[in-house]
Structure 1
């Protein structure tokens, strides 16, 4: 009987121990399940947050965004901005083929390149639902998810920007045509021959020149202007200088005083960053003299009794200081003398290429031809203008 009781007690102890172990094991399992559930919840929250950021990116992007299937090239997803650019509702745009929207067939080349290299950028025109064209900056990037490939394409509408640029280009072109129309034509008389070069670096130039007969035809007066800079602003400042120089033709004053008046007046039209180089001349056929006042033009070419080749000049630039440091040069001239007034665009090219030893500056036609070839066969970084005069 005692053995049976002992056995029962032992079994009860074993059962208690087993129950305790099972309890602790269940607690551990419950804790593990809870931890795994929390991790699953955390991962789900991270995934949801990531998806929400993705959706927010699509919704709030200033650019149109689409996701294209890399096999069919059909739209899988499109954000609101893309639909607004193209004029579609959400249900209308999904699964459209990209070629249904593109005006140019080059879009497929763009996408194939993005798929091959990872990304590609281009400017392309697309067709809106209402039939109007839209110009976009197009960027395509290859992505992968799972075992599939796709291309994410962004669209930035630059239609208005392109329109404004085209309007500005037309305005600049018109300004260039007007500027060129104001230049004097070539001339041949019994007294003088005149040839000109006018080659803007862009469509408008900071250079300008003019000449005319004054004092009853006994004096040929003129000037060459080179305003610093390029573009419409510079062309307007050149035009202002031209108007002022036209007024000096009517003044009965020494040439140097005319230039000083020009400087005082032009400072009202120039900004602190603006200045101009100029050379003014008067050929007096009665006294057979040439009067020159250079202001910043660094030289001219001549074949005359006094000089042959480059004559270096200087003087203060216009529009910087009220009182110019300039001098008036007077040269005696005779029949056959030639003078070649040029701006920095030509002077710089001559400095690089040098005058050919075989070039005779007295040969007016050959020298004029050489200067024309110089500016057309060499890379220029400035406007190039020339006013060439031969005394007959």
Structure 2
């Protein structure tokens, strides 16, 4: 039991030490005189007290101790009634939650501790020194006497033996803990107050030194600068960090540094101050002249310092020569400026002077222009011109803005101007600097035209969505600017069993990223139909495109491949955040690590694969789309078209900050083929037309309309020969095969097929415009790959390879 008691005491001492540390952090962050500081302190004392209540010390069987009286009493004494209120609220709520047998006595002890601490807080502000150990010890003893009295009065008579048992530890240990905790907290406050006062003193000294208009500096016995004000830094055109610790030899040229060293050394040796005119060479190489008063200061440790104050007289010495040369410099500056500069009288708004560029821009002579006012030149209302001039006068200077001015020949040109108030002779005038924007606007138009053309070329390089037998694909491509750093591509393999693609995201935006993307995407396209593993493809590409990237640029990418012979999706990422999936095999958000492309030559990548089934959907996207997903509610991944619409909204959001690209793929169910139809009458074709249209839509996707037209022509031709028709649709690999048979006398369709094949469809169509027959066969040949009639002419075979137009068929090199 004694060991358990000691462990509990040690734990509570650790709690008190943690309180001291956290209290030091609170007073560093908040002022305890503010409401936030008081609430934070109250929360700290109440929280630590609550922890002590949850893990009390077992003094004896049935007797538990905690340090809430110490914490609440000291907290009230240190931080005042507001903190006491927060602390007692926390402990009281915990007491209510515990609701033990001694609920009322414990609650009374809690409130008594806070009340007594608050009374002492008010009283000590006027009377005693709270830092005195005797005061803290007396406070702790009185606090725990009151606590024991509350327990004695409120406990049942049968329970008062507990108070008797608690008297010794409570009256011996807890007052000492109160003293120690109070002293620690007071030392924390005093230490922080000392740091604050020292910082204030340093700041006050720095403000006083910098308030002096004249340069001031202090150097030590080794001539190292240890203190200076802003005026001294400005005199030497250097920053304080550049001058600290430097000597005359480090700051001035050798010949000037030697003279200054001798003067400063004489003062440090003899203690006799002097006043001399010095010539300084600033960091920008200009000579500065100053009258410097030097004196020696010796501190209480006997260390000697040189204190110097200077008065910069450079301007006084240069005033005469500057006054004589000012007009020539002004005239040269105005005339040499590439902008048109016009000087206008503030009061009359009359033109006072203009440079050659201004004369060339406006087309006037100098004499003609000086007879005009600003209202005669600017194309705007008089009120608007006056309002803008008042804004210039109020601010002294305005940012550049565009306006229109009228030339002598009446033409109006757009210029960019800035206005400034300057001194002109003995009066203040307005100086307008204007630049003709005509050539710039023309150049911007040409650049925009070229960039728009580049965007069209870039758009032509990417495929669009389609509906196919096996998949439906939707694409999203939304550049942040006209051209994008994102690119993507996809396509079918030669055997139409694998559908592969990639998304490439080049860092940055605009033309440079687009050019990098076009160069890098060529390597991706080269391997699109390669049998290599996806991770091997990424490694091969990364090694070959390193030369396209600088240290500040890189690329992210994701490769994916759908193998319909095994119903397996394989993917490998290279820095892309992830993609979305609606599948039993994957979570909704799929993340995969992978090195970026263009950074490390030996970067590693990983290929992962999962099975898929009809109804699954996968949404591959660039980082511009993925980053915006976290700012939206959950997407409806089970609804393919709705998810595509939601992703499109994200890609077109005005809040986006990156190019947005996505390739969305839905796995379709395989249609039930072959299908056989028997038609007894021609009008039955109208009855089954809807079924055929739906079936072709499932099988051929976007090509269903064209195939339907060709099938209609075949049925119409057969219906003219016989009323008994048989139609069979079958799917051989990726080839759709349609057989139409009738019981009529037969039709030599192959003759027309051979004729049209020799002539070419364009020539044959022109020749058959006035003919009675054969046009249906031309339509079938236009939309289908093969049209073959049987020898007896009663059956026609229609063949169409599916998927090439929609998803692009790739040869072994990846070319379309």
Q: TM-score w.r.t. structure 2 length? A: 0.39
CA shift, 1:343, in A, is: 1.1
CA RMSD of aligned residues (A): 3.0
CA shift, 1:232, in A, is: 0.8
Q: Is the 8 A contact 1:115 1:142 kept in 2?
A: yes
CA shift, 1:131, in A, is: 6.5
Structure 2 CA distance for aligned equivalents of residues 249 and 266 of structure 1: 16
Q: Is the 8 A contact 2:403 2:417 kept in 1?
A: yes
**Pick aligned residue for 2:368 from 92, 103, 120:** 92
Where 2:335 maps in the other structure, the secondary structure is helix
Residue range with higher mean Cα deviation, 307-316 or 245-254: 245-254
Is 1:368 aligned with 2:633? Answer: no
User: Which position in structure 2 is the counterpart of 1:33?
Assistant: none
Unaligned runs of 5+ in 2: 1-318, 669-816
Structure 2 CA distance for aligned equivalents of residues 44 and 317 of structure 1: 66
Structure 2 CA distance for aligned equivalents of residues 58 and 355 of structure 1: 61
Q: Could you say if the C-alpha distance between residues 175 and 389 of structure 1 is closer, same or farther in structure 2, counting changes exceeding 3 Å?
A: same
Structure 1 CA distance for aligned equivalents of residues 513 and 335 of structure 2: 45
Where 1:308 maps in the other structure, the secondary structure is coil
Structure 2 CA distance for aligned equivalents of residues 45 and 282 of structure 1: 81
Q: Is the 8 A contact 1:295 1:316 kept in 2?
A: yes
User: Which position in structure 2 is the counterpart of 1:126?
Assistant: 405
User: Which position in structure 2 is the counterpart of 1:208?
Assistant: 487
Q: Could you say if the C-alpha distance between residues 332 and 44 of structure 1 is closer, same or farther in structure 2, counting changes exceeding 3 Å?
A: closer
Q: Is the 8 A contact 2:419 2:431 kept in 1?
A: yes
Residue range with higher mean Cα deviation, 74-83 or 296-305: 74-83
CA shift, 1:302, in A, is: 0.3
CA shift, 1:207, in A, is: 0.9
User: Which position in structure 2 is the counterpart of 1:346?
Assistant: 625
Q: Could you say if the C-alpha distance between residues 296 and 47 of structure 1 is closer, same or farther in structure 2, counting changes exceeding 3 Å?
A: closer
Structure 2 CA distance for aligned equivalents of residues 221 and 119 of structure 1: 61
User: Which position in structure 2 is the counterpart of 1:111?
Assistant: 389
Q: Could you say if the C-alpha distance between residues 111 and 174 of structure 1 is closer, same or farther in structure 2, counting changes exceeding 3 Å?
A: farther
User: Which position in structure 2 is the counterpart of 1:227?
Assistant: 506
1:1-392 paired onto structure 2 within 5 Å: 49-70=325-346, 72-103=348-379, 110-115=388-393, 117-120=395-398, 121-129=400-408, 134-142=413-421, 150-351=429-630, 353-356=631-634, 359-377=635-653, 379-392=655-668
Structure 2 CA distance for aligned equivalents of residues 365 and 223 of structure 1: 21
1:336-378 deviation per Cα after TM superposition (whole angstroms, max 9, x unaligned): 0110111111111123x2542xx43121112112222234446
Q: Could you say if the C-alpha distance between residues 51 and 246 of structure 1 is closer, same or farther in structure 2, counting changes exceeding 3 Å?
A: closer
Q: Is the 8 A contact 1:110 1:122 kept in 2?
A: no
Q: Is the 8 A contact 1:301 1:309 kept in 2?
A: yes
Q: Is the 8 A contact 1:298 1:313 kept in 2?
A: yes
Higher helix share: 2
1:9-36 deviation per Cα after TM superposition (whole angstroms, max 9, x unaligned): xxxxxxxxxxxxxxxxxxxxxxxxxxxx
Q: Is the 8 A contact 2:478 2:652 kept in 1?
A: no
Higher strand share: 1
Q: Could you say if the C-alpha distance between residues 252 and 53 of structure 1 is closer, same or farther in structure 2, counting changes exceeding 3 Å?
A: closer
Report the number of matched residues: 347
Where 1:110 maps in the other structure, the secondary structure is helix
Q: TM-score w.r.t. structure 1 length? A: 0.78
CA shift, 1:206, in A, is: 1.0
1:12-64 deviation per Cα after TM superposition (whole angstroms, max 9, x unaligned): xxxxxxxxxxxxxxxxxxxxxxxxxxxxxxx9988654444443443344432
**Greater RCO (CA < 8 Å, at least 6 residues apart):** 1
Q: Could you say if the C-alpha distance between residues 255 and 143 of structure 1 is closer, same or farther in structure 2, counting changes exceeding 3 Å?
A: closer
